[in-house]
Amino acid sequence: MANLILILGDQLSPNLSALDGADRHEDLIVMAEVHDEASYTNHHKKKLVLLFSAMRHFADHLREDGWQVHYQHYHPGNPYQNLEAVVADQVQQLNATQVITTECGEWRLHEQISQWHERLGVPVEIRADTRFIASKQEFADWAKDRKQLRMEFFYREMRKKTGLLMTPEGEPEGGQWNFDADNRKKWTGNPPVPAPFRIEPDGVTRHVIALVEEHFADHFGTTDDFHFAVTSTDAQAALEHFIDFALPCFGDFQDAISDTEDWLFHSILSPYINCGLLDPLAVCEAAVQAWYSGRAPINAVEGFVRQILGWREFVRGIYWLNMPAYAQENRLGNTRALPWFYWTGDTKMRCMHKAIDATRRNAYAHHIQRLMVTGNFALLAGIRPEEICDWYLAVYADAYDWVELPNVLGMVMHADGGYLGSKPYAASGKYIQRMSDHCANCHYQVNKATEDDACPFNALYWHFLDRHRDSFASNPRMGMMYRNWDKQKPERREALIRRAGHLLANLEQL
């Protein structure tokens, strides 16, 4: 009575629910690198290398642990080009009683797997993903009957549930739930940035790099200088490196952007958490222990924990509560195509060029680059949500639909009408100047708004506010900006609108 256990590329965890109660001698684990999953979007080359290599290492670990594993390596000539075809073949060969898998992270694939039983001729059991701190049902129960869903309140519930940064009396450590106000310093070169964590590619990874270069040559990004961890052991070392060298300064500078440093004090752990090499709760516990032992300040630890325990869990809940209709939201009526420079970095806007170039090289950019640079520009320019969402899904090593879609469509693009975020994260060039040193090296002048060499973010910001006044004028968090707009002289407003109109008509030339 053998079962076929399907493990996906973002489920590289030995405590996966699909393995609960499994028999090492009877059951067969199936893992597969398939064309359909590798090619349905323009996945960054480093993302493909990370996942294929991590999958191969995990399969080897399972075999060493006594499991029977069928593993399909990628080749464009494979007879089985999608997961269903691989599973159907193995069900037949094994004469399997049923298929068992852990719920996946994408509505598209979830819908496919939910229908497999009709075509495979055996039951398909989809188990809850217990690696998340809140189940889908738990989030749905929390969200029920609430007029607004706000991450801050959900985050507090998760703090209480886990006990992270909580006193024995049930109060938040440090006397407050959120230290975000302390986490907005500009980085000017001190303290020195630690060297990023590096793992030199082993033979498996080098083979995968060659495979990706051969078969995915037209995909975005580069495989050069690949140094991600691809095993849980090395990912754990990356966590320890972050806690030792970067976490103490992470809080102060978590919103800072640098013209010369790609990584600053960020953890770069999200690729490992999201594919299963690190457990999110264990990561949070390690950071909290650093505060208790005096190795990191509370604003750094709380800010880091909030990203995982708060935002990560919150956006997953939003995703599964509202899909598939959520993916079609476009409340601001955006119609413009994504500028080609998002794929090339070929733009005179220094902040955009640096963020896109770092993304191309690293398959990574930190959250402020994503939200307030590339995301802010897409919001101000009125880019179609589906196009910018697909870009984020493709270019980042940590991007999966469940985490990317709510963050981009909801938080970045405000396309859900404020369901996820209480206000649009729109900003002029002054925000980027305040948080970075890009502007000093830019072709455009951040202190100008209407001239030919003026920072495009400035006029586009006011144009955005003006064209969406009906949507935002009554928002209490936006009132001051509209008062500022109304105080400007009519000729000044006209010049800003005219400049923005020229920019929008010539996006590709910026």
Q: How many CB atoms lie within 10 A of CB 161?
A: 13
One-character DSSP codes across 344-404: H---S-HHHHHHHHHHHHHS---HHIIIIIIHHHHHHHTB-HHHHHHHHHHH-TT--HHHH
pLDDT at 421: 86
**Nearest by Cα to 150 from 330, 402, 476, 419:** 419
In the predicted structure, residue 367 carries a pLDDT above the cut 80: yes
DSSP H or E run through 4? strand 3-6
Residue type for position 219: H
Determine the Cα–Cα distance for residues 373 and 479; give it in Å rounded to an integer.
Answer: 23
Per-residue confidence (pLDDT) for residue 426, from 0 to 100 = 94
Closest CA to 410 of 379, 381, 432: 379
* C-beta separation of 162 from 154 below 8 A: no
Reported as a pLDDT band with limits 50, 70 and 90, residue 476 is confident
Burial bucket for residue 148 (CB in 10 Å: 0-12, 13-18, 19+): exposed
Closest CA to 51 of 63, 67, 39, 65: 39
Neighbours of 222 (CB within 10 A): 15
Count other Cβ atoms within 10 Å, centred on residue 465: 22
- pLDDT for 182 equals 76
Which tokens in the block code for residue 466? 């003006």
Tell me the residue type at 283: V
Please determine, for residue 147, whether its predicted confidence score (pLDDT) is greater than 90. Answer: no
Tens digit of pLDDT for each residue in 388-432?
Answer: 999 999 999 999 999 999 999 999 999 999 898 888 999 999 999
Please report, for residues 116, 258, 276, the alpha-carbon distance to residue 267 in angstroms, rounded to integers and kept in the order given. 38, 16, 16
How far is 132 from 193, CA to CA, in rounded Å? 31
Spatial neighbors of 508 by CB under 8 A, at least 6 apart, are 339, 340, 341
Q: What is the mean pLDDT of residues 90-110?
A: 95
Across the range 142-156, mean pLDDT stands at 92
The 8-class DSSP code of residue 411 comes to I
> 201-224: per-residue pLDDT in tens?
999 999 999 999 999 999 999 999
Instruction: Report residue 493 CA to chain centroid gap.
Output: 37
Task: For residue range 274-330, list pLDDT tens digits in order.
Answer: 999 999 999 999 999 999 999 999 999 999 999 999 999 999 999 999 999 999 999
Q: Are 334 and 355 in contact (CB under 8 A)?
A: no
Which of 236-240, 242-246, 332-336, 472-476 is predicted least confidently? Answer: 472-476
- 163-184 pLDDT, tens per residue? 999 999 999 999 999 998 877 8
Q: What is the pTM of this model?
A: 0.95
pLDDT in tens, 270-290: 999 999 999 999 999 999 999
Residue 79 Cα distances to 76, 86, 87, 313, 386, angstroms: 9, 9, 12, 38, 32
